Structure 1
Amino acid sequence: MKVLVPVKRVLDYNVKPRVKADGTGVDLSNVKMSMNPFDEIAIEEAVRLKEKGAATEVVVVTIGVAKAESDVLLTARAMGADRAILIQTDEEVEPLAVAKLLKAVAAEEQPGLIILGKQAIDDDSNQTGQMLAALLGWAQGTFASAVEIAGDRVKVTREVDGGLETVDLKLPAIVTTDLRLNEPRYATLPNIMKAKSKPLLKKTVADYGVDASPRLKTLKVVEPAKRTAGVKVADVDALVGKLKELGVAA
């Protein structure tokens, strides 16, 4: 069984985001970029499935700038992916267009399972996996904390508000990963060097005939408001009085 793993290049989670002076977005110039952490978990899970013999090949795909070839896709192959696909574009691609592109990739690759992060830490949309499942007509197991392949089915343990839920899905299926699914392995230098010889296919959005034009418009991006200093009160009566001023106390 082939496993397809879509990944995204995002601002590194250790970097504090800076808003552009004109308020048009987040400043990404001269900052460290890396693989979305949830997608690292997806790569790790796919590689583990291959190591268990449940998968025969792991293919990673990303949609983004050319620099993704030398960081995100190289890291993915160093972690154990067999080959990579780069759909190159300099434009921001929204979740629906990403899902449509991944549907086209799935039509070419014919994977038995698609594993991807539940969301990306840059926009936190949490939409692509669900949209892709709808477009393909496949079953989906989102927010996975455990994945088990058994024949032509996959059992996915999901993290829900009330605890854990297990769903039994017929393959092919979509799985989106949560934090507690696994601990991604470190991409060692020897594996990074080996990864450079693994196949990389370069494509464009136009190759798949998908309209990736944006449907949303960002009006303005601003920094979160800074927290103001607290106020000390002398006694309970003063506290109640302050709460009344704020409209908190009846």
Structure 2
Amino acid sequence: MTVTSHQPETQRKRAVVTGASSGIGAATVRLLVASGWDVVALARREARLRALAQETGCTYVVADITADESVAQAVEAITAGGRVDALVNNAGGALGADRVDNADLEQWSRMYELNVLGTFRMTNALLPALRETAGSIVVVTSTAAHEPYEGGGGYVAAKFAERVAARTLRLELVGEPLRVIEIAPGMVHTEEFSLVRFAGDQGKADAVYDGVPNPLQAEDIAEAIRWSLSMPAHVNVDSLVVRPVAQAAYTKTHRVTS
């Protein structure tokens, strides 16, 4: 595990962003830093984190949220470096698009481990630090956490579980000055999400967005996260669903044909 800091500790608010090496995570790091936060970017790919730190001045921690020991070491380094006012659980992803009756259960297991157990491994480990600052827990789910679609059984199951666990945590923390916020993005065109889902098949990844006018960008979701965290401390954004105008539901998307 590597920890690198490019700025002195201050009393500014401090956020931890998981899945920060690309897409929504990297965009969130950029926007929070620009908005005056100290940010710890966390992911597995050190080269990308190093470049992000050089670009933004954030701190970074290399860690795997699916491994207990890695998370424990990361949290030790994070808390030694200062306060924690927000945890943005962004790390996650989809693998495959198989029908339920042809499911690759190993992929289902990997999605559950990453999207659900990884999120709450980080959350539980950082709860003591967040309690000290009356902090915020952001869980980036998906519209797949709210509605099923064909070919999405494993991902939908994982995201439903992530959302319901976050909702349960919200209930259990009532009476404590902690916020639990769900951000549920619809179609977001990032460089890796669909490419990873389809095992590097660029054609299949591109087809997801073909003809869709103005799908969301990572920066749009980063702004939703920033806005939710900027609300007064007594305001909890329980659940915020964000879609492009062209997408009314996961299975109802306008596409322009040539």
TM-score with structure 2 setting the length: 0.37
Larger relative helix fraction: 2
Higher radius of gyration, 1 or 2: 1
Please report the TM-score for the alignment, with normalisation by the length of structure 1.
0.38
Higher relative contact order, structure no. (Cα contacts within 8 Å, ≥ 6 residues apart): 1
